[in-house]
Amino acid sequence: MAGIFLTTLCCIAAFVGAFVLRFDFGRIPEAQLPSLGMGLPLMVVVRMITLWGFKVHRGLYRYTSLHDVLLLFKAVSVGSLVFIPLWLATGGHHVFMPRSIYILDWMLCLSLLVGVRASVRLWRIHFQTARPAGAAAERALVVGAGNLGETILRIVDRRFFGQDMEVVGFVDQNPVKHGGRIHGVPVLGDTKDVREFIKEHGIDVVLFAISEPREGLFEEIVASCDGLHVRFNTVSLLKDASTGEVRVERMRGLKIEDLLGRKPVEVDVRPVREGLAGQTVLVSGAGGSIGSELCRQISSFAPQRIVLLDAAESPLFEIDRELRERYPDLDIYPVIGDIKHPEVVERVFAETRPGFVYHAAAYKHVPLMQTHPDEAVLNNVRGTRHLAEAARRHACKRFVMISTDKAVRPTNVMGATKRMCELLIQSMNRPAVKSADPGTVFAAVRFGNVLGSNGSVIPIFQKQIDAGGPISVTHPEMTRYFMTIPEAVSLVLQCGIIAEPRDIFVLDMGTPVKIMDLARNMIRLSGLREGVDISINITGLRPGEKMYEELVAYGEELKPTFVPKINVLKQAENPLANEVLSTAVRHLEALAVGRHTEKVKELLYRLIGFDAELNQRLLTGFSEKCVHRLIDRWPEAVEIPPVECKTAPKGRVLAVVGRLELGAALRQVLAGVGYEVDSLDSVAEALKLLSSDRAYSAVLCDVIMPRSTAWELHERIRAMTLDLPVIAMSEYDCKTIGELLEVEICMPILRKPFSPREFEAALDSYSDPSVNVVPEPGGVQQLD
């Protein structure tokens, strides 16, 4: 009511004020008093009706914004345009009103209505949100002077998040914005100077306000603030999976996934919505990290029914309760059941008749599965077989299995079981099957670690930090791929729609992250200092653990799809027919039921075609002890010419090695025959160097390097039209490498530790294609 009263008062004051202004604040002529008396009630009625029609009365004065001002402009303008013909039709033909009154009234009415609202808002900002005497607000620096930064400033000023902060300034990478102001707050400078601004202005908290930062930006800023004892906050942007709408939800502390800088994937959700709408969808492992997110996103696409299958009671209860609260009209069917039991699986499929199956149930912890291979086979392999066979029997449209990067050249039981599942899924599409095939499309999606999943490294690190440390890292050079759970699941749903029979999809995981860097960043985000407040312990690789993971193996080729960040694997046919593979899998399961753990491992690795022990050694390299022995003993184990016999420099050799320490050993060995050695541990850096500096005589490289191989480097150098000898190095002989990797050796391979003379012989053999291996010399001491 107070608002209606103030609005009426403003309309009256504007009309009367128009007459006062028209006659220069003097006495209004008596001839004009009739037009004032007759026009005032008509104007007030017209104004109130038009303002009501534009719903101006619904806007709260204390939250007046530019939107409200534009609405008032429209309402007042329409009111004036309506008043003029009404006045001329009623009293204007015998009572004269100056035309300037119309314009003055419009201006005064708009000014008064906007002014009243602005005054209320200013009063609220400056008085209601005033801090008590002596109260100190946290001083904040906002990273990002764009739309999100301006939004955060307004939110912080109004204390909508219940936090008392004062924004001191902005920083931004765009030099055009430097020196400018946003609502009176200065843009201090560039993001690279954050540390100096924190010291200069006494900053307590850094607010990140960039929705799509470049890769590594947040990490650089956090690292630059090391030891300053500042907090790092940002805002959660809530995105609706079905509509793509984004809004600011709440302020929160910066998380480790924010530092990875992965750009949000933008995919067209319409095919997923059209594919899942009205369907019955079954999700196995519905209570897990991936399974529960699958349930959330699938539910947003209006399926007819969603079936939640899990053996764990509590997680299943939680996701069931969450979905019922968010989607009260959705038919949700929770089932407690173990996929190892075929009768349970058959009952679920017979009762629900799902059209889509997303299989996320699996044992995933590497050390546990390494000591319990029988359980790994029964749950991962047998459970997958039960679900896949039931899906085919009941004419499901699509069956999508969640795989892992650990299935690539697996060195552990868990990875081997997932590779076995991939082969099993592919074989289900074979036309060799004699039973009636209703056309179920079977596919798998392979990706790396997801951030924040149950039992993953990040929650473990956080618990160790909360307990005061130390943080346990298995190896300082270990790397892993990471992706957020919502991003991975959104791509999995896309794969389910575009899948063709036998497809194995591989998600683009971006750049691998060092686990040591991850631990250090989490220490910084907690406001602690490494080595002062908390320490990092190196514990050594666990059984079956790799130094780095891969997404494709030798013989596999990736082809991009039309969906961003989704590739499909093009590979050779599985040599085992479905009947043969099914028989072998059942024999494997029988061994697991009988708890013959060693025989389970042996048959499992034989079926997937890898020697686990050799694969483990090849991928992880020597143990730390053995590496240091190699570095220390290499120069002593081979014959190196004495210093006085060394010849003039013969040339430069570029060594691309997995460990730079080995580069130092090479430098000492090859100096004996007059070669200078530069060493790098990155193939990309090596190619960049070779493109600009062509003064090298040869390239030495490890057979296996992170994310590359010697033959791949050889081909890329050839593509650069460089006539440069490329010689590989390995701890294994040529025959072992050829059998293990199933490749034809087409380049010289030196077995470490080699002598300077052997290197020269390999260099000479490069021009003779018939010589592809330098024999291991007699008398050279070999390492265990």
Q: What is the DSSP letter of 514?
A: E
The single residue listed with the structure tokens 């289900």 is 428
Closest-CA residue to 479 (of 203, 274, 682): 682
Neighbours of 675 (CB within 10 A): 23
Q: For CA atoms 497, 498, 501, 507, give the dihedral sign.
A: negative
Could you give the CA distance from residue 389 to residue 385 in angstroms, rounded to a whole number? 6
Chain centroid to Cα 612, Å, comes to 31
- pLDDT of residue 53 exceeding 90: no
Name the residue with higher pLDDT: 657 or 44.
44
- 772 — pLDDT class (breaks 50, 70, 90): very low
Could you give the CA distance from residue 8 to residue 512 in angstroms, rounded to a whole number? 66
Tell me what pLDDT residue 352 has: 94
Tell me what pLDDT residue 780 has: 31
CA atoms within 13 A on the CB side of 678: 14
User: What tokens were used for 5?
Assistant: 């009263």
Tell me what pLDDT residue 773 has: 40
Length of the chain: 784
Name the residue with higher pLDDT: 187 or 120.
187
Tens of pLDDT along 1-35? 677 888 888 888 888 888 888 887 777 777 778 88
Tens of pLDDT along 459-480? 888 889 888 889 999 888 888 8
- pLDDT of residue 100 exceeding 50: yes
Q: Which of 98-102, 454-458, 535-539 has the lowest mean pLDDT?
A: 454-458
Chain centroid to Cα 58, Å, comes to 42
Could you give the CA distance from residue 713 to residue 80 in angstroms, rounded to a whole number? 77
Helix axes 597-608, 578-593, angle to 10 degrees: 160
In this prediction, residues 30-47 reach a mean pLDDT of: 83
- pLDDT of residue 648 exceeding 70: no
Could you give the CA distance from residue 215 to residue 511 in angstroms, rounded to a whole number? 10
Highest mean pLDDT among 62-71, 196-205, 304-313, 637-646: 304-313
- From residue 665, alpha-carbon distances to 7, 21, 335, 670 in Å are 86, 94, 60, 9
Q: Which of 238-242, 424-428, 709-713, 717-721 has the lowest mean pLDDT?
A: 238-242
> Side chain identity at 404, as an amino acid letter?
T
Asked if 396 contacts 355 with a C-beta cutoff of 8 angstroms, the reply is yes
Tens of pLDDT along 572-592? 555 455 666 777 888 889 889
Classified as helix, coil or strand, 110 is: helix
- pLDDT of residue 554 exceeding 90: no
In this prediction, residues 445-451 reach a mean pLDDT of: 86
Q: Which of 52-61, 203-212, 528-537 has the lowest mean pLDDT?
A: 52-61
Tell me what pLDDT residue 496 has: 92
- 241 — pLDDT class (breaks 50, 70, 90): very low
Q: What is the DSSP letter of 777?
A: P
Tens of pLDDT along 376-414? 999 999 999 999 999 999 999 999 999 998 988 888 999
- In the 3-class helix/strand/coil scheme, how is 321-360 assigned residue by residue? HHHHHHCCCCEEEEEECCCCCHHHHHHHHHHHCCCEEEEC
Tell me what pLDDT residue 781 has: 30
- From residue 598, alpha-carbon distances to 270, 372, 374, 471 in Å are 49, 10, 9, 33
In the chain, % helix, strand, coil (3-state, to 5) comes to: 50, 15, 35
Highest mean pLDDT among 135-139, 274-278, 506-510: 274-278
Provide the mean pLDDT of the chain.
Answer: 79
Ranges of H-type helices in 693-755: 710-719, 734-741
Asked if 197 contacts 189 with a C-beta cutoff of 8 angstroms, the reply is yes
**Rg from Cα positions in the chain:** 36
471-473/536-538 β-pairing: parallel
Q: Which H or E element spans position 614?
A: helix 612-620
- 615 — pLDDT class (breaks 50, 70, 90): very low
- pLDDT of residue 436 exceeding 50: no
In this prediction, residues 342-364 reach a mean pLDDT of: 95
Highest mean pLDDT among 257-266, 327-336, 528-537: 327-336
Q: Which of 406, 546, 601, 752 is catalytic?
A: 406
Tell me what pLDDT residue 511 has: 79
Tell me what pLDDT residue 36 has: 80
Classified as helix, coil or strand, 561 is: coil
Tell me what pLDDT residue 372 has: 94
- pLDDT of residue 52 exceeding 70: yes
- pLDDT of residue 784 exceeding 80: no
723, with CB counted inside 10 A (0-12, 13-18, 19+), is exposed
Tell me what pLDDT residue 324 has: 95
Classified as helix, coil or strand, 666 is: helix
Asked if 228 contacts 195 with a C-beta cutoff of 8 angstroms, the reply is yes
Neighbours of 214 (CB within 10 A): 11
Closest-CA residue to 347 (of 400, 385, 309): 309
The answer, yes or no, to whether the previous bond of 470 is cis (omega within 30 of 0) is yes
In this prediction, residues 608-626 reach a mean pLDDT of: 46
Residue 54 has φ and ψ, to the nearest 5°, of -90, 5
Residue 450 has φ and ψ, to the nearest 5°, of -110, 145
566-570/557-560 β-pairing: antiparallel
Is pTM beyond 0.85 here? no
Q: Which of 550-554, 654-658, 659-663 has the lowest mean pLDDT?
A: 659-663
Catalytic residue check, 406: yes
Percent of the chain residues topping a pLDDT of 70: 79
- pLDDT of residue 58 exceeding 50: yes
Percent of the chain residues topping a pLDDT of 90: 23
Asked if 545 contacts 474 with a C-beta cutoff of 8 angstroms, the reply is yes
